[in-house]
Amino acid sequence: MRKRISALGLIGVAALVLAGCAPAADETAEEATTSASATAEAVDPVTLTMWSWRTEDVEKYNTIFDVYEAANPGVTVEFEAFLNTEYNQLLATGLEGSDGPDLAMVRAYGGVQALIEAGQLLPIDGLVDTSSVEQSLLAAATGRTDGSLYGVPFATQTLQMFYNKGIFDELGVTEPTTWDEFIALNEAIDAGGYTPMALGAKDSWMLPIFHEIVGAARYGGPEFRDELLAGTSDFTDADYVASIQIVNDMTEYMVDDVIGVAYADSQIQFTAGTAAQFPGGSFELGNFTTQAPDMELGVYLVPTPPNSVSDKPLAAGWADGSFAINAKGENQEAALNLLNWLATEEFGQLFVDEVKQFSAIKGLTYTDPVMKEMNELFASGPTAYINLVDMRYGDPSGSTLIGEGIQSMFLGDMNATGVSTKLQDGVATWFTPGA
Amino acid sequence: MKTENKPRQHGKMPILIGVSFVIPALMLFSVFILYPLTTALSYSFFSWKGTLRGDFTGLANYVTVFTKAPFDEALPNAFSHNLLLFAGAMVFQNSIGLALAVVLHKIGRVKRLFQTLFTLPYLVSPLVVGYLWSLMLSPLFGPVNATLRQIGLGEFAQPWLGDPTTAIWAIVFITAWQWIGFPMLLYGAALGGIPEEISEAAEIDGASGQKKFRLVTFPLLLPALGTVSILTFIGAMESFPIPYAVGGSTGSPAGATDVMALLFYRTAFESGDVGSIGTSSALAMLLFLFIFGVAVALRTSLARAERKLYD
């Protein structure tokens, strides 16, 4: 019997092993910064390691860094990628010890604060020229408590409506330019035997994305965000509530029981051609083109709903991550040189051409027609995905609260006012406006 | 003299050898169990900034997980789902497992085949099982709803995993589907261990069918029942892969499939709060203490019940 009990204890403890992974750190980054002087003249060969979660892009980054290595003799950049889901723990542990990378991809906004507050990243104010970077995105790599910059954002995502041009042509419908046209379009698709919009409402993270796509213009995007952050308005604002109501009204144009549809199922709905439109992020592009290479893809911004605060359609966007320097790294001078290059148009263009994602650098050329259009759409009405950009600095996060709230609304257990109250009350536990 | 020495030598040798045999296991246990356990315990008493340990805060993290949002709502919600998973598994998984074991014990012939078939799902990763069933139950492509519609039971077709009232029961069902072979095997082994003579003696005494099962077979299965119950309890309290595959880390829809391990996972690995190491360690400690305490209590009371029965 005793044997059995200890075996039980063994299983019971498994969860704790997970928690035990993060080692404690008591030293700060100060010593490390001074040790950077140990780096000798630029002629000495130096190998810089960079960690990443983009296992699918290793070859592409190697190609990009070949360009840098050619221009900077003696410098070798080693790009190492780790499993996305394990990356945060690996990086936190790696930066703690002596075998960490010189540079690393770090998560954006709330996702990087733990590393910053633990003193694991090098502040780069004044050390890196970020003038080519889209300034609004620098918040992704800024310390929330000290306001210092800790990284150079590399990729951005934007939200818009994707549609299947083949189905549009078959039904004789076109991109809508007014809200009435948008409603008429959905009615026409429905009458034509297709599902107007594919949405994976079972996966709550998808719902705030959908809310931004159909409702950002209604609540007013950037203006509302300014008021929210200043404390002159909050999520219970009537316009914000109305934008959540729009989400509920749209269920008419989805399959019955949309609450049971998983995100992956909704992608299949669209790529298999049973749904004509997919409200989603630019990160869908890769999946759509591999799963349905023959589908002709179109994108548009949902027109402004009636009584909208914004006078033009809005595209919500955010930075996906940044490049940052290990505060304990031994080659900080060389790392800073590389980071400066990562903030240039030269790198941005290489990134766009090789990795085929949206760069955080301004003024680049996109050759892919869909990417080009998405980039133009974003430029025409940029706004921030507030619940990700500003509301992930504490627990519960804004996107979790509104996602769960919208699920309750779809189930009929909550109305739009309830969702916004839940969101406001939840973030108010850690979010202080004006701070 | 000799007779006095012998037992002493006999006692000495095993102690030394015993200790040396225990050392490797003890070291492994210390490194992989004891150390993480005690560090998690110590982490839970400090404030954290990322991986930077701050001041000793005593029970502050524990107070947080009981009183502050999102824990004040999420903790009771998740915990109640764990209890429901346990109750569901006891009622469905273990009773059906017992029935299967009894039937298979009787038929004998194709016993092996069915034992293998029923145990098969339990060899597959629960994460895979969870994803498989979420495909089966999909309202769009799922064969479950399609079959219901085809046989004229269309009104029973549901968004199984999208409706909070059915989603948690779907998890009970999926867990039972995967684990049914486990109680069946344990009960089967216990049934096989009951000597023929006892059964025959009961028959000669006039007990038959139900009466024989109730008065003879079932009491002899009690030790197996205890083991199965405790392991089921631990499994239900630590349930993670199937709820994760079915409802994601937030326990969709709207927290209806949230469980303790998911809450811990979210707090530890997905939280934007820089102090999450402290709060997640506190959660892990609470869960561990609860599981350990109840498992020990169950074991003790079952042992007492068994003794009473056989005396």
Sign of CA dihedral B165, B169, B174, B175: positive
Helix axes A416-428, A238-249, angle to 10 degrees: 130
CB spacing of A19 vs B280 below 8 angstroms: yes
Q: What is the pLDDT of residue A43?
A: 57
- Among A201-215, A317-331, B138-152, the minimum mean pLDDT is found in B138-152
Token look-up 């107007």 returns A196
Residues in CB range of B185: below 8 A, 6 or more apart: B101, B115, B119
Pairing of strands A46-52, A103-106: parallel
pLDDT band, residue A2 (cuts 50/70/90)? very low
Question: How far is residue B132 CA from its own chain's centroid?
Answer: 21
B18 has a pLDDT exceeding 90: no
This model of the complex carries an ipTM of 0.77
In angstroms, rounded to a whole number, what is the distance separating the alpha carbons of residues B52 and B180?
A: 45
Question: Which pair of tokens denotes residue B301?
Answer: 């009371």
Candidates B52, B67, B149, B232: best to mutate against A (most CBs of A within 10 A) is B52
In angstroms, rounded to a whole number, what is the distance separating the alpha carbons of residues A107 and A105?
A: 7
Task: Tell me chain A's radius of gyration from C-alpha atoms.
Answer: 23
Q: Count CA within 13 A, CB hemisphere, residue B261.
A: 26
In angstroms, rounded to a whole number, what is the distance separating the alpha carbons of residues A358 and A43?
A: 34
In angstroms, rounded to a whole number, what is the distance separating the alpha carbons of residues A9 and B234?
A: 9
- Judge whether A111 and A140 are in contact, CB under 8 Å: no
**What class is the A26-156+318-379 domain?**
alpha beta
Our CA-based measurement puts residue B215 at a distance from the nearest CA of chain A, in whole angstroms, of 25
**In chain A, which residues have their Cβ closer than 8 Å to the Cβ of B292?**
8-9, 12
- Among A34-43, A292-301, B116-125, the minimum mean pLDDT is found in A34-43
In angstroms, rounded to a whole number, what is the distance separating the alpha carbons of residues A262 and A199?
A: 8
Where helices occur in A324-368 by DSSP H, the ranges are 332-342, 345-355
Q: What is the pLDDT of residue B11?
A: 52
Chain A residue with CA closest to B54: the answer is A26
A39 has a pLDDT exceeding 90: no
Q: Quote the mean pLDDT of chain A.
A: 88
Segment 86-115 of chain B within 8 Å of chain A by CB: none
Q: What is the pLDDT of residue A41?
A: 46
Chain B residue with CA closest to A398: the answer is B272
CB spacing of B250 vs A268 below 8 angstroms: no
In angstroms, rounded to a whole number, what is the distance separating the alpha carbons of residues B154 and B140?
A: 14
Count CB neighbours of B194 within 10 A.
14
Q: What is the pLDDT of residue B52?
A: 83
In angstroms, rounded to a whole number, what is the distance separating the alpha carbons of residues A263 and A193?
A: 22
pLDDT band, residue B218 (cuts 50/70/90)? confident
The neighbouring-strand residues paired with A104 are A51, A324
Residues in CB range of A97: below 8 A, 6 or more apart: A23
In angstroms, rounded to a whole number, what is the distance separating the alpha carbons of residues B182 and A119?
A: 49
- Among B111-125, B142-156, B203-217, B241-255, the minimum mean pLDDT is found in B203-217
Question: How far is residue A29 CA from its own chain's centroid?
Answer: 28
In the chain, the amino acid numbered B172 is V
pLDDT band, residue B138 (cuts 50/70/90)? confident
Q: What is the pLDDT of residue A37?
A: 41
pLDDT band, residue A79 (cuts 50/70/90)? very high
Token look-up 């999926």 returns B174
Question: How far is residue B251 CA from its own chain's centroid?
Answer: 19
B183, B228, B224, B229: which is closest to B306 by C-alpha?
B224
Q: What is the pLDDT of residue B12?
A: 59
Nearest to B53 among A26, A115, A396 (CB): A26
Helix axes B218-237, A2-12, angle to 10 degrees: 20
In angstroms, rounded to a whole number, what is the distance separating the alpha carbons of residues B217 and B209?
A: 10
pLDDT band, residue B311 (cuts 50/70/90)? low
Q: What is the pLDDT of residue B13?
A: 64
Count CB neighbours of A262 within 10 A.
26
A27 has a pLDDT exceeding 50: no
A80, A129, A132, A131: which is closest to A102 by C-alpha?
A80
The neighbouring-strand residues paired with A197 are A277
Segment 136-195 of chain B within 8 Å of chain A by CB: 137-141, 158-164
CB spacing of B163 vs A269 below 8 angstroms: no
Residues in CB range of B3: below 8 A, 6 or more apart: none
CB spacing of A202 vs B253 below 8 angstroms: yes
Where helices occur in chain B by DSSP H, the ranges are 2-29, 35-43, 60-67, 71-88, 95-107, 111-119, 126-136, 143-150, 164-179, 181-192, 196-204, 210-212, 218-237, 241-247, 260-265, 276-310
In the chain, the amino acid numbered B182 is F
**In chain B, which residues have their Cβ closer than 8 Å to the Cβ of A110?**
272
Our CA-based measurement puts residue A257 at a distance from the nearest CA of chain B, in whole angstroms, of 6
Domain spanning A158-317+381-428: CATH superfamily: Periplasmic binding protein-like II (3.40.190.10)
B19 has a pLDDT exceeding 80: yes
Q: What is the pLDDT of residue A435?
A: 61
The neighbouring-strand residues paired with A279 are A161
Q: Quote the mean pLDDT of chain B.
A: 87
**In chain B, which residues have their Cβ closer than 8 Å to the Cβ of A410?**
253
A33 has a pLDDT exceeding 50: no
Q: What is the pLDDT of residue A38?
A: 41
In the chain, the amino acid numbered A99 is D
Q: What is the pLDDT of residues A247-276, one digit of tens each?
A: 999 999 999 889 889 898 899 999 999 999
- Judge whether A305 and A179 are in contact, CB under 8 Å: yes
- Judge whether B250 and B116 are in contact, CB under 8 Å: no
Our CA-based measurement puts residue B198 at a distance from the nearest CA of chain A, in whole angstroms, of 25
Candidates A257, A392, A421: best to mutate against B (most CBs of B within 10 A) is A257
- Among A39-43, A139-143, A364-368, B178-182, the minimum mean pLDDT is found in A39-43
- Domain B69-310 sits in CATH at 1.10.3720.10
- Which SS3 state, helix, strand or coil, does residue A298 take? strand
CB spacing of B272 vs A392 below 8 angstroms: yes
Return the domain boundaries, chain A.
26-156+318-379, 158-317+381-428
**In chain B, which residues have their Cβ closer than 8 Å to the Cβ of A426?**
69-70
A337, A334, A331: which is closest to A32 by C-alpha?
A331
CB spacing of B163 vs A261 below 8 angstroms: no
Segment 243-282 of chain B within 8 Å of chain A by CB: 247-248, 250, 252-255, 261, 264, 267-269, 271-274, 276-277, 279-281
In angstroms, rounded to a whole number, what is the distance separating the alpha carbons of residues A326 and A2?
A: 48
Distance (Å) of CA A18 to CA A88, B43, B116, B193 = 13, 12, 33, 39
- Among A55-64, B44-53, B92-101, B202-211, the minimum mean pLDDT is found in B202-211
A282 has a pLDDT exceeding 80: yes
Residue B56: is it exposed, middle or buried by C-beta count within 10 angstroms (0-12/13-18/19+)?
exposed
Q: What is the pLDDT of residues A100-154, one digit of tens each?
A: 999 999 999 998 999 999 999 999 999 999 999 988 899 999 998 899 999 999 9
B12, B21, B20, B194: which is closest to B105 by C-alpha?
B194
Pairing of strands A382-384, A315-325: parallel
- In angstroms, the first-to-last Cα distance of chain B is 41
Token look-up 């709903």 returns A305
* Global confidence as pTM: 0.82
In angstroms, rounded to a whole number, what is the distance separating the alpha carbons of residues A114 and A120?
A: 9
Q: What is the pLDDT of residues B63-92, one digit of tens each?
A: 999 998 789 889 999 999 999 999 999 999
- Which SS3 state, helix, strand or coil, does residue A320 take? strand
Top-confidence residue, A160 or A37: A160
In angstroms, rounded to a whole number, what is the distance separating the alpha carbons of residues B192 and B186?
A: 10
Top-confidence residue, A377 or B273: A377
CB spacing of A89 vs B269 below 8 angstroms: yes
- Which SS3 state, helix, strand or coil, does residue A365 take? coil
